[in-house]
């Protein structure tokens, strides 16, 4: 049986809906899958419903941004139960992830006339192109040439993950285990 336990949807930085992921999994004869969107759990209910219809086993998963010794680490958590502390942990990571882009725009608006925090806050982007709001905004405002060129600016403006209050690896592991997950 073929398995893929690390798939992203447009709920984080992927390009497909959970339903489209299942359709693609069916074409590839996958028997077990997990969507592990970055710091968000929103895709699971749709995934579970579509997987049942397609005869595919769906494992609940998430990729949690965390910090270990000052470095970003992406941890994959699987098969966790509903747990308030776990949900708070994922929300904390998501808030910090969103804050990296907000802080980047705050710092960059001093150097660029065509971007502002107010404009960024009202900005909407096409999630199906992949990536996340910050890099789409910079690309659409012609600050970068390619969509993913904006990633370098997070480092240049000191807005990398290590500068924010992401959960520690130890905290993620402990709370994931508390929630019955792996």
* Confidence class for position 67, pLDDT limits 50, 70, 90: very high
Mean pLDDT, range 136-157, rounded to an integer: 95
Mean pLDDT, range 35-46, rounded to an integer: 96
Give tens-digit pLDDT for 48-61: 999 999 999 999 99
Mean pLDDT, range 93-97, rounded to an integer: 96
Q: What angle do CA 182, 79, 39 make, to 5 degrees?
A: 85
d(CA 177, CA 37): 19
Instruction: Please identify, in words, the CATH class of the domain defined by 2-174.
Output: alpha beta
Contact present, 63 and 38 (Cβ < 8 Å): yes
């Amino acid at each position: 049986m073929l398995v893929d336990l690390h798939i992203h949807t447009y709920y984080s930085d992927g390009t497909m809906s959970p339903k489209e992921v299942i359709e693609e999994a069916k074409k590839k004869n996958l028997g077990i899958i997990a969507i592990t969107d970055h710091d968000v759990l929103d895709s699971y209910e749709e995934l579970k419903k579509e997987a049942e219809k397609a005869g595919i086993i769906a494992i609940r998963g998430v990729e949690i941004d965390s910090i270990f010794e000052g470095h970003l680490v992406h941890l994959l958590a699987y098969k966790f139960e509903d747990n308030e502390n776990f949900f708070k942990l994922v929300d904390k990571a998501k808030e910090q992830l969103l804050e990296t882009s907000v802080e980047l725009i705050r710092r960059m608006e001093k150097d660029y006339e065509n971007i502002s925090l107010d404009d960024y806050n009202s900005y909407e982007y096409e999630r199906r192109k992949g990536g996340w709001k910050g890099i789409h905004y910079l690309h659409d405002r012609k600050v970068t040439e390619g969509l993913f060129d904006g990633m370098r600016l997070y480092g240049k403006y000191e807005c990398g993950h290590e500068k924010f209050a992401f959960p520690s690896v130890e905290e993620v592991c402990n709370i994931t285990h508390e929630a019955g997950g792996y």
